[in-house]
Structures are given as structure tokens and as C-alpha cells.
Amino acid sequence: QKEVEQDPGPLSVPEGAIVSLNCTYSNSAFQYFMWYRQYSRKGPELLMYTYSSGNKEDGRFTAQVDKSSKYISLFIRDSQPSDSATYLCAMRFKAAGNKLTFGGGTRVLVKP
């Protein structure tokens, strides 16, 4: 079993819909959680960074962390074709020196 599980997709939604992404993890010691967006042939771009259970909102993006269930989510409201990309969740321990453990990534396609 992988430490971080993420559905590879592809996830196809119509423009304007809400995109719902999630990751589950097995190690309760993970403390910091990130979501990255990666376009084809580009490096990952940080979208959200959280370290506590609950919700965090930034523009059209909302990140949720449920440490008791070992489950994190990312929601994208009013999705646009430019949101079409691969979304990677990542997490790390408190004292890991920033060594990240990544999910496998979910490919998202927003159709106009």
C-alpha cells in the first residue's frame, strides 16, 4: 500500500463545474499538506499549503484536511479550461526537512 493514495483520473468536468479532488494517507504523522498543479512539461506550481485540520480558502480553491480520517481534499469552483492539468497532493512530517511524499496525481480536464 502506498503512503499516499490519489485517483489518477482522468476527471472530466464541464466548464463552470466544481472539481473535487482528494487524497488519502496512511501515516498519521504527516503534519503539512500541499496541493500542486502541474501543466504538461512544466514544474509543479504550489496552490495550497495547510498544516491543520479544517478548511482553507484562496480564491476559487478550497483545501480541506481531516486528520482524523487521514483524508485531504481540494475543491475548484467555477472551473475553467485553463484549470486542465494534473493535480498532485503532497505531505510531509513535521521534522522531515521538507522531504515531501507525493500522491500519484489526478489528471483533470475541464471541457468548454
User: Which residues form the interface with other proteins (CB under 8 A)?
Assistant: 32, 34, 36, 41-46, 49, 51, 88, 90, 97-100, 102-105
Residue 105 CB, nearest approach to other proteins (Å): 5
Nearer to other proteins, 16 or 54 (CB): 54
Nearer to other proteins, 30 or 36 (CB): 36
Residue 24 CB, nearest approach to other proteins (Å): 15
Give the integer Cα–Cα distance in Å for 11 and 83: 12
Does residue 50 contact residue 58 with C-beta atoms inside 8 Å? no
Nearer to other proteins, 44 or 72 (CB): 44
Does residue 25 contact residue 5 with C-beta atoms inside 8 Å? yes
Strands, E, within 1-70: which ranges?
A: 4-6, 11-14, 19-25, 30-38, 45-50, 54-58, 61-66
Residue 80 CB, nearest approach to other proteins (Å): 21
Give the integer Cα–Cα distance in Å for 41 and 27: 31
Residue 102 CB, nearest approach to other proteins (Å): 5
